[in-house]
Amino acid sequence: MSIAGGVQMSIQRGCSIGCSAMQMFVKNNMQWFARPLTRQEIGAFLKHSQRRELLSIFAHANYLINLAATNPQFHANSLRALAEELIRADQLKLPFLVLHPGAHLGAGEEAGLEKIVESIDCVFSGIPKIKTRIALETTAGQGSCLGSTFEQLAYIISRVREPERLCVCLDTAHIFAAGHDIGSESAIRKTFREFDRVIGRDRLVAIHVNDSKTARGSRVDRHEHIGKGKIGLEAFRFIMRDRRFREIPKVLETPKGKDLAEDVQNLKTLRILAAEQ
Ligand SMILES: [Zn+2]
């Protein structure tokens, strides 16, 4: 949800269309850095009269951050920006910040994963008191992006010094584009069994509920409205109805205009699936 006009504005927007969970940026998502949040801004968010209407609010990191960046300046910016965003998220009492693990840019999978592990250690060691965790997001594997297999995320978690500060956000469009079969109930169950086995069920803290414009295994990340893409409604029906996901916040990241009409429609589609007998 947009934070145009101030971080607290996202709450109003989310509540205006009946959201019960919300993902937000903690600053302009196309800029490296921003001035710190003021006391007033933090207060306006935390004391917002509608904040309790949202059962879960969490953050998404900006898209410039690449913990596996090969350019030293770009890498240094990434570490600083991530630390600053974790601090902002913590000030807003958000439990986790969703982050794309990084892209190795030709350095290779192994070198990229090592760099991500080192980077996370470095960021966390600089902000020992920050409670907001990093939720590593499953990715489509576009280009040299890491995080398209459950094994890669598990590797990062197993190698960092403070694994308790990491969790995972699953994106339906990304795992589909990365090649996972979620086309039928049995296939979905199998994919989640694999998630449980490789990463662990307890790590899952959020789901990005997106349909995919691109085919399974395409490794191309293009979100589509629920039911209008290539995934099919079965996966969304399962996620909306299975008991194991009941307490997991689910958010849309589908295309939308300022009036949020598309969000309203997608929420409606999902809630109909959830209520089906
Ligand atoms: Zn996502």
**Could you give the domains of the chain?**
9-275 (3.20.20.150)
Summarize pLDDT for 6-26 with one digit per residue, the tens: 999 999 999 999 999 999 999
- For residue 121, the CA-to-ligand 1 centroid distance in Å is 23
Least confident of 111-120, 151-160, 268-277: 268-277
- For residue 276, the CA-to-ligand 1 centroid distance in Å is 26
CA distance 189 to 187: 5
Query: 1 Cβ partners below 8 Å, 6+ apart?
Result: 10, 13, 14, 19, 22, 23, 24
- For residue 221, the CA-to-ligand 1 centroid distance in Å is 9
Average pLDDT of the chain is 97
CB burial string 247-269: b at 16+ within 10 A, e below: ebbbbbbbebeeebeebebbbeb
- For residue 21, the CA-to-ligand 1 centroid distance in Å is 15
pLDDT over threshold 90, residue 153: yes
- For residue 240, the CA-to-ligand 1 centroid distance in Å is 17
Q: Strand 133-137 to strand 96-99: parallel, antiparallel, or no bridges (unpaired)?
A: parallel
pLDDT over threshold 90, residue 29: no
Q: Which residues pair with 183 in a beta bridge?
A: none
pLDDT at 276: 84
pLDDT over threshold 90, residue 177: yes
When pLDDT is averaged across residues 88-96 and rounded to a whole number, the result is 98
pLDDT at 30: 84
Residue 203, classed as helix, strand or coil, is: helix
**Burial environment of residue 55 by CB neighbours within 10 A (0 to 12, 13 to 18, 19 or more):** exposed
- For residue 223, the CA-to-ligand 1 centroid distance in Å is 9
- For residue 208, the CA-to-ligand 1 centroid distance in Å is 5
Summarize pLDDT for 215-260 with one digit per residue, the tens: 999 999 999 999 999 999 999 999 999 999 999 999 999 999 999 9
pTM comes to 0.97
When pLDDT is averaged across residues 137-159 and rounded to a whole number, the result is 98
Q: Mark out the alpha helices in 35-165 (DSSP H runs).
A: 39-46, 72-91, 109-126, 150-159
